[in-house]
Structure 1
Amino acid sequence: MVEKSEGDTYPLIHELEMYCEQVYSISQILSIPDLCIEEFLKLDSLLKKIMSAIQDIPLKKEAVFFPYNAAMWDSLESIWRAASADKEVETYVIPIPYYEKRNHGEEIEEKYDGGKYPSYVPITDYRSYSLEEHQPDIAYIHNPFDRFNKVTSVHPDYYSNELKKNVTKVVYVPYFLTGGTMYTYHREFPSYYHVDFIVTQNTKMIDSFASTIPRKKFIPWGNPIADRIIQLDKDKPDIPEEWKPMLSNGTDFEGKRTVMYNTSLSMILQEKDNALDKMEMVFKLFREAKDILLIWRPHPLMHATLRTMEGTLYQRYLAIEKSFLEEDIGVLDRTSDVGIAVALSEAYIGEASSVIYMFELIGKPVFLIDPHIENRINAHNGCEVTALGRCTEDNMEYFLADEYAFLCRRDKSTEFIELLDKVPLDTVCSKGVYKDIYKWGDSVYLQPYCGEGLCNYNINKKIFRKFYVKNSVANGFKAMYPVGQYLHLVPDKYPYNVKFDMTREEFIYGALNNCNDSTKSFEVEGTQEKPEKIRYVFPENLICKIRAQELVERTGGLVIYENEDDTLQDFLYLLENDGLFHKVKGSLSRISINATMDGTCGKKIHEFLKSTLH
Structure 2
Amino acid sequence: MRKAQMRQVLDFIESLHQAHEEIESAMGRKNLILAQNMLGECQQFAISFGENIEKLEGEGHITVSYVEDYCEVLFRVYEDVCNGHANEPQIHKILEEQLSRIEKSVQNDIKVKKEIAFFPYKASMWDSLESVYLAAREDPECDAFVVPIPYYDLNPDRSFGQMHYEGREYPKNIEVMDWQSYHFEKRKPDAIYIHNPYDSWNLVTSIPPRFYAENLKKYTEKLIYIPYFVLSEIEPEDQARIDKMKHFCFIPGTVWADKVIVQSEKMKQIYVNEYSKGAMAAGLSGRHVDRDLLNQKILGLGSPKLEKIAGSLDAEIPDDWQSKMVTKDNERKKVIFFNTNVSLMLNNQERFIDNLRRIACIMESYRERFTVIWREHPLTNEALKSMHPDLQCDYLAFKSEFCSKEWVILDTLAEAHTAMAVSDGYFGAGGSLAAMYFVTGRPMMVTDYHYPNEISLKPTTLEKLKLSMRHRTYYNEKNINSLNLFLENIEDLKVYQRQRFHDSLMADGLGKGAGRKIYRVLSD
Residues of 1 paired with 2:57 and 2:388: CA distance?
A: 67
Larger radius of gyration: 1
The answer to whether the 8 Å contact 2:441/2:497 transfers is no
* Structure 2: 5+ residue stretches without partners: 3-53, 73-96, 235-241, 280-287
**1:230 pairs with 2:310:** yes
Pick the aligned partner of 2:269 from 196, 204, 212: 204
**1:220 pairs with 2:220:** no
**1:186 pairs with 2:248:** yes
Q: CA 1:555–1:161 in structure 2 vs 1: closer, same or farther (change >3 Å)?
A: closer
Cross-structure match for 1:365: 443
Q: How far off is 1:599 after superposition?
A: 1.4
Alpha-carbon RMSD: 3.9
Cross-structure match for 1:604: 517
Residues of 2 paired with 1:127 and 1:548: CA distance?
A: 56
**1:264 pairs with 2:329:** no
Q: Which has the higher helix share?
A: 2
1:507-526 matched pairs, under 5 angstroms: none
Q: CA 1:131–1:246 in structure 2 vs 1: closer, same or farther (change >3 Å)?
A: farther
Q: CA 1:594–1:129 in structure 2 vs 1: closer, same or farther (change >3 Å)?
A: farther
**1:589 pairs with 2:493:** no
Pick the aligned partner of 2:361 from 284, 295, 302: 284
Q: Match of 2:127, SS?
A: helix
1:49-448 matched pairs, under 5 angstroms: 52=105, 55-106=108-159, 108-180=161-233, 183-201=245-263, 202=265, 203-205=268-270, 206-211=272-277, 212=279, 213-214=288-289, 215=294, 216-233=296-313, 236-240=314-318, 243-244=320-321, 247=324, 254-289=331-366, 290-310=368-388, 312-370=390-448, 371-372=451-452
Q: Which has the higher strand share?
A: 1
Amino acid in structure 1 at the alignment position of 2:411: D
Q: CA 1:175–1:591 in structure 2 vs 1: closer, same or farther (change >3 Å)?
A: farther
Q: CA 1:97–1:17 in structure 2 vs 1: closer, same or farther (change >3 Å)?
A: same
Q: How far off is 1:100 after superposition?
A: 1.1
Q: Match of 1:367, SS?
A: strand
Q: CA 1:274–1:138 in structure 2 vs 1: closer, same or farther (change >3 Å)?
A: same
**1:573 pairs with 2:491:** no
Q: Kindly, what percent of the aligned residue pairs are identical?
A: 27
Residues of 1 paired with 2:128 and 2:479: CA distance?
A: 37
Q: CA 1:107–1:79 in structure 2 vs 1: closer, same or farther (change >3 Å)?
A: closer
Q: How far off is 1:11 after superposition?
A: 10
The answer to whether the 8 Å contact 1:375/1:569 transfers is no
TM-score calculated relative to the size of structure 1: 0.60
Deviations 1:384-426 (A, max 9, x none): xxxxxxxxxxxxxxxxxxxxxxxxxxxxxxxxxxxxxxxxxxx
How many residue pairs end up in the alignment?
Answer: 416
**1:559 pairs with 2:486:** no
Q: How far off is 1:224 after superposition?
A: 1.7
Deviations 1:530-569 (A, max 9, x none): xxxxxxxxxxxxxx9x944664466489521122275111
* Structure 1: 5+ residue stretches without partners: 3-7, 27-43, 380-543
Q: CA 1:609–1:255 in structure 2 vs 1: closer, same or farther (change >3 Å)?
A: same
The answer to whether the 8 Å contact 1:102/1:108 transfers is yes
Residues of 2 paired with 1:327 and 1:140: CA distance?
A: 41
1:440-459 matched pairs, under 5 angstroms: none
The answer to whether the 8 Å contact 2:259/2:298 transfers is yes
Residues of 1 paired with 2:394 and 2:401: CA distance?
A: 11
Residues of 1 paired with 2:154 and 2:504: CA distance?
A: 36
The answer to whether the 8 Å contact 1:68/1:95 transfers is yes
Amino acid in structure 2 at the alignment position of 1:231: G
The answer to whether the 8 Å contact 2:335/2:424 transfers is yes
TM-score calculated relative to the size of structure 2: 0.70
Q: How far off is 1:254 after superposition?
A: 5.0
Amino acid in structure 2 at the alignment position of 1:122: E
Residues of 1 paired with 2:214 and 2:473: CA distance?
A: 42
